[in-house]
Amino acid sequence: MERWDDRRDTIALPWLWYAFRSQWRWVAAGVLLGVGLAALIVLFGEKRYESNAKLLIESPMGMTLGAGGGIAALIGGGSPDLNTQVEVLLARPLLEKVQRQAGIEEPYRDFEKRFRATALRNTNVIELTATDSTPEGAQRLAKLWTEAYLSHVRTLYEQNPTTLAEKLEKELRHQEDQLRAVSKRITDFLKRQRIVAPEEELAKSVEKYADLLEQRRTQEAQQIALERQIAALRRQLEREPKFYEATRNLAIPPEVQQLNTKIAELEIQRSGLLQEFQPNAPEVQLVEQQIAQAKRERENLLAQAVDKQFLTLAKQEMVNPLYMELAQSLLRAESELQATRATLTILKQQQAQFEQLFQRTPDLMAEYTDLKRQYEAALTIWTEKVRAYEQARAQQLVGKISPILLEPATLPDRQVFPRPVLTMGLGTMLGLMLGMLGALVAAWRARRLSNRWEVERLLGAPVLAELRSALDPAHVQLLTWQLRALGGGETWHRALALPLTPQTQAIAQQLAAALQTPENEAEADLPAPIASNGVLRVYTAPSNASHTPPAERLILVAPKGYALDEATYQMLAQTGDRLVGVILVEEGTR
């Protein structure tokens, strides 16, 4: 079975009709109040009249819509030109000028409420509306407003663009002078330092310096290897005593030394070209050919030097081939060592030059960065000045918005507030709504058992019967079925009939006597009750509480229209779902 609180919160639609009908005085009072307030507004409210005028806003070059406003106007967003003119019409300086001309002494917040400007959709027309307490005053305000606007907008669009263009032209020339001065300072700096692109040249210098260090490490490693090789060859030659004196006289020719220096310079030149060109580039191939030619010449000179040294020995005695091969290897290694030392000397000089350049690079880059930042700032300002000047010149050449008075201000023929019919109708509707709300509140606060909907709302229990006289067998039979349908005889077996007044005491006793046993006497045309669910007994509640029989459920017997006091209502609320139902009795009809 559902909870008592849940059932009580349910409001039936018939209860609403009952509430309005029972509390009709609240509804009538609300309607009278609304009608009275509307009548007071009609009789004593301040009258207001509106005068309308229309302006046609012509855009430049005969366009019907503002620039970029075509799509916006088609979708209902309006033209930007029209929206701008609406803001100009409602600007405070313009309205204050109208207020001074009209001689109306009132706060500006109240005065600006007299004016309204609206851009008509999909047109180039603006509708102006001025409000006053008299028809003549409204027409006068509308005329003053349109005249002040036409004068103001002509001054704004005819004088200001010319003055702005002249001012921007002077600023543009001054900015160009500053831009040229900064550009000259940057040019002088680059000439003085003999550079073209500092950032790119610095990046290339860093790459060359790193490559230079790598070459130096390679050449130093090669020098160490050659020194060890020469030492090993000398030790091998010392094992040949016969040719010891001859090998001491071996010396590297001067031509070989020159070729070593040339080869070192060509190899350094090739490393620099590889940073800028591909290995198969013509410049790189030419340097490699020169290096190969120099190496071949060096080999020929070394071979000739060894042959000359062994020419004399060949005449005296037979030359040892091993000794001759070792001597050639020694001479070649000493030649390569000399070339390596020459290369290291050139690399050290270049490294010193790069390090000297890097020492003064921070100061140079700081000065160049500052000059470049000044130039970029001057260029940005110059660009903005050019754009503003071009817009001002375009406005002068293309044309300006031209407002035309399309419809002068007219004398209003009737007031816009208050309107008697509309005001009375709205007052009546408002009063009816307030009266209905008051009726609902009053009916909700009432605790009177008037009908089934009030009983269900207050107690959350159904009305089992509404009686005008004593119980007859038909009522007893129906009550028996109702109680069995509610669970009597299966989930509970005893119920207590509680009368609330002395007159309902007889009905409670009669109900208890009729339902004492499950086999009740029924009329011939009614079927006998079936007692298969168990014995169902109903007792009456006597005045003496000590003789009250135990019961599992409660049946309330109350007179129709009985008002529950707070204590009774709280006690019935505590019964919860143990309250089976209510029997309403109309007193005085028995």
**Segments of the chain scoring below 70 in pLDDT:** 1-12, 45, 59-80, 156-165, 196-197, 199, 201-202, 239-252, 275, 306-321, 357-358, 360-361, 364, 392-401, 516-535, 543-546, 588-590
Predicted confidence at residue 433, as pLDDT, reads: 92
pLDDT of residue 1: 43
Look at residues 48, 35, 50 and name the one whose alpha carbon lies nearest to residue 418: 48
Strand 49-58 versus strand 402-407 pairing type: antiparallel
pLDDT at 360: 67
List, in sequence order, every residue forming a beta bridge with 50; answer none if it has no partner.
131
* Nearest residue to 434 via CA among 75, 22, 105, 31: 31
Q: Is 26 helix (H, G, I), strand (E, B) or coil?
A: helix
Same domain, 333 and 244: yes
Let me know how many helices (H) and strands (E) the chain has, helices first: 19, 11
Amino acid at 244: Y
What is the end-to-end Cα distance of the chain in Å, rounded?
35
**How many domains is the chain partitioned into structurally?**
4
Same-domain check for residues 71 and 144: yes
Residue 393 has a pLDDT of: 66
Are the C-beta atoms of residues 497 and 585 closer than 8 Å to each other? Answer: no
Q: Are 262 and 195 in contact (CB under 8 A)?
A: no
331 with 248, same domain?
A: yes
Count the alpha carbons within 13 Å of 524 in the hemisphere toward its beta carbon.
0
| Residues in CB range of 168: below 8 A, 6 or more apart | 385, 388, 389, 392
Angstrom CA distances, 462 to 13, 416, 455, 566, 580, stand at 16, 56, 7, 21, 8
So what's the pLDDT on residue 127?
92
Q: Are 172 and 343 in contact (CB under 8 A)?
A: no
123 and 109 share one domain: yes
Instruction: Say if 13 falls within a structural domain.
Output: yes
User: 60: domain range?
Assistant: 46-158
Q: Tell me, what's the pLDDT at 4? A: 44
Torsion of CA 420, 422, 425, 426, to 10 degrees: -120
What is residue 527's predicted lDDT score, i.e. its pLDDT? 47
CA distances from 137 to 27, 107, 134, 292, 408 (A): 42, 18, 5, 109, 15
C-beta separation of 270 from 287 below 8 A: yes
Query: Cα–Cα distance between 537 and 263 in angstroms, integer?
Result: 132
435 Cα distance to chain centroid: 46
Residue 541's Cβ-count burial label (10 Å; 0-12, 13-18, 19+) is: buried
Supply the pLDDT for residue 64: 42
DSSP conformation letters of 234-245: HHHHHT-GGGHH
Contact 547, 431 (CB under 8 A): no
pLDDT at 468: 80
CB atoms closer than 10 angstroms to residue 49:
21
Among residues 73, 59, 131, 71, the alpha carbon closest in space to that of 102 is found at: 131
d(CA 568, CA 564): 6
Asked, for residue 524, whether it belongs to a domain, the answer is yes
Question: Is 187 within a domain?
Answer: no
* 119, part of any domain: yes
Task: Find, among 561, 567, 569, 564, the residue nearest to 589 by Cα.
Answer: 561
Helix axes 135-158, 160-193, angle to 10 degrees: 30
Residue with tokens 């700032």, as numbered in its chain: 377
Residue 171 maps to a domain: no
Distance of alpha carbon 330 from alpha carbon 234, whole angstroms: 7
| CATH code of 64's domain | 3.30.70
**Which ranges of 45-134 would DSSP assign to H, the alpha helix?**
70-74, 80-89, 92-102, 108-111
Closest CA to 37 of 438, 437, 441, 418: 418
Query: Whole-structure pTM over 0.85, yes or no?
Result: no
CA distance 415 to 138: 11
Residues 441 and 456 in one domain: no
Q: Is residue 276 part of a domain?
A: yes
Q: Verify that 469 and 549 share a domain, yes or no.
A: yes
pLDDT the model gives residue 129: 92
Residue 82 lies in a domain: yes
Question: Of the candidates 333, 367, 397, which is a domain's last residue?
Answer: 397
Same domain membership, residue 301 and residue 278? yes
SS3 percent helix, strand, coil of the chain, rounded to 5, is 65, 10, 25
In tens, the pLDDT along 372-420 reads: 788 888 888 888 888 877 776 665 554 566 777 888 888 887 777 777 7
Please provide the DSSP assignment of 267-281 as one string: HHHHHHHHHHS-TTS
Pick from 461, 516, 533: nearest CA to 8: 461
The predicted-structure confidence for 487-510, as pLDDT tens digits, reads as follows: 777 778 888 888 888 878 888 888
- 88 close to 401: Cβ distance less than 8 angstroms: no
DSSP SS3 for 339: helix
Indicate whether 370 and 476 sit together in one domain: no
| Same domain for 441 and 322 | no
**Do residues 500 and 585 lie in contact, with contact meaning Cβ atoms separated by under 8 Å?**
no
> SS3 string of 298-316?
HHHHHHHHHHHHHHHHHHH
Whether residue 472 is found in the same domain as residue 565 = yes
Residues 372, 262 share a domain: yes
Asked if the structure places residue 176 within a domain, the reply is no
Q: What is the pLDDT of residue 528?
A: 46
Whether residue 117 sits in one domain with residue 39? no
Asked whether 40 and 53 are in contact (CB, 8 A), the reply is no
Which SS3 state, helix, strand or coil, does residue 208 take? helix
What is the C-alpha separation between 171 and 160, in angstroms, rounded? 16
